[in-house]
Structure 1
Amino acid sequence: MSVHPVSSLSTTVATLRHAGCVFAEDEAALLNEAARSPQELTALVERRAAGLPLEHVVGWAEFRGRRFGVDTGVFVPRRRTEFLVAQAVALAPRRAVVVDLCCGSGALGVALATEASAAELHACDVEPAAVRCARRNVGALGQVYEGDLFGPLPATLRGRVDVLLANVPYVPTDDVELLPAEARVHEPRVALDGGGDGLDVMRRVAAEAPGWLAPGASLLVETSERQRDAAVEVVGSAGLVPRVVVCEELYATVVIGTAAQ
């Protein structure tokens, strides 16, 4: 229910436009929905106009048709990454064992596990804030661990993982400062910075992945178009059979590495 009259909503749109929000009308409607009073709406608009990501302001992000809680300081799942999950769903066998590395809010793992009717979901992230957020989103659907990549996963998962999602950071270090302020200032650097060429974390994941994957299982990683050839080489050098799938509409590039049968 609207907490402000139409005239005030128009003022909100104007404020957001002045702050540089491209989709001011849509954002104004979401902020109006989230606010429980005119005073709270004013506070929410001020936070958004100051540059806080909309998802952090309203406390959720939409991903694959569902709303997931996203706390301040937690990486916001991107719409293009829905393509990564769609590829994973297509590959997941019945009652799959799913691992979501660098899980952030947990949105990717939950979407995959739900759509694929997974038997097990295991997610982990190195950021404590992300782990807290992911645990709320995952709930009873699976387990969320705090730690670096495969480090916190139970050893009993070795050789049993059917689908390994790794939405690793892939922005080259020198390019991080070129990102929009919403990401650069308000999201954790560890979720953005992929090292010198952007592929450092991907290399670490690919190197260990074969030891965790079941025969014929797959690792899926998102990358950029300009990094695709290097990413393919990274995945192939780890002993996985790589292939690339692209969604031009979402500007999404996914590298899939499949383990030997």
Structure 2
Amino acid sequence: MTGYGWRGAVAAAGVTGVLLLSGTGPAGAVGAAGGPPPDPAPGGPQRPYEPDVEGPRNVDSLTAEVTAYGGEYGGGYGGGSRGVGVTFDRTSRAEPAGPPAAARRFVFLFDKALTFRPESFPTCARGTIEEGGTGACPAGSLVGRGTSHAYPEGTAEVRAYNTRHANGMRGALVVVPANGTILELTWERVTPTYQRLGYAWALDEILPATAVPPAERVGTSRFELTWGAKWGDRSFAHLNREGAGAGAGGPLRLALWSHFVTGQTELPVARTERP
């Protein structure tokens, strides 16, 4: 992650093995006295400092879905699990009008009933994509797909590849082949505050600064991204057996912490039924 500092020491050890989302506690509000939601994953790579700019207030919403790939709960972690796909569908609009402010970071937060097995899938390096495109990535390294919606119109395919960064941390590369965008994500532990809400692990995505001034960057009006894939008899994302989740078999909780160039932070939360 050349050019990035560190928000804390926890990331230095990296993430290895199965990522078990194992926080505890009921759902609740985040942020003191209605204040902005705190950073759920302060231990990872840090985006270079950039001062806040004036801009619109973004109003974000999130829907989510967890879809089974077929098959019943079998031998796995937490008393058995099944392969699933985990979909985030985020929309954003500006108040009072116009394009949404651009983002600096997105942090995908997963219900503790979900586990991920990046160590069981091939990885693709950023340099491989830069030199040969996504077609040069090994079979089985594609672990997510989706669509990005530009403001005011236009869509582009999004692909997510399992990776291991140069510093040893496991993560993903989100790629928009149409324009060559490559975004780096890392697996990180969430803070105790978010563990008490039922999360334990997150994927932290940094959107690097560009030559375009922050106030002139345009945010996306919507993106849909599904994490999950099958490779042979292996599944990238798993749902633990009923009773292992935050709600003891109840709905699953997903969230997306977002930080914008204006300094605004948002935390839309979605609940979805177990498949």
Point out which structure has higher relative CO (alpha carbons under 8 A, 6+ apart).
2
**Larger strand percent:** 2
- From the CA coordinates, give the structure whose radius of gyration is larger: 1
Please classify the TM superposition score into its range, dividing by the shorter chain length.
under 0.3
**Larger helix percent:** 1
Q: Under a length normalisation based on structure 1, what TM-score does the superposition of the two structures give?
A: 0.28
